[in-house]
Amino acid sequence: MCLAIPALVTELLPDGMARIDLDGVRKEISLALVEDVAPGDYVIVHVGFALQKLDPEEAAQTLALFAEMGGQA
């Protein structure tokens, strides 16, 4: 099963890419599918692409749900 997980954008990179922090894991993802992303924003990430922006409250709720279920986001 694949999950789309909220991640914090920490840095914008050239060529429509960004660096994210996903529970302490840093990855580079594509921003090709979303607009107006800035460091500090939360995005839903799936297979290396940001799918949409989330407000911080919604991201916190989703991450708390993952933690409740015993998984790590």
pLDDT tens, position by position, 32-48: 999 999 999 999 999 99
Task: Kindly tell me if the per-residue pLDDT of 61 is higher than 80.
Answer: yes
Q: Give me the domains of the chain, ranges plus CATH numbers.
A: 5-68 (2.30.30.140)
DSSP codes of every residue in the chain: ----EEEEEEEEETTTEEEEEETTEEEEEE-TT--S--TT-EEEEETTEEEEEE-HHHHHHHHHHHHHTT---
Q: What is the pTM of this model?
A: 0.84
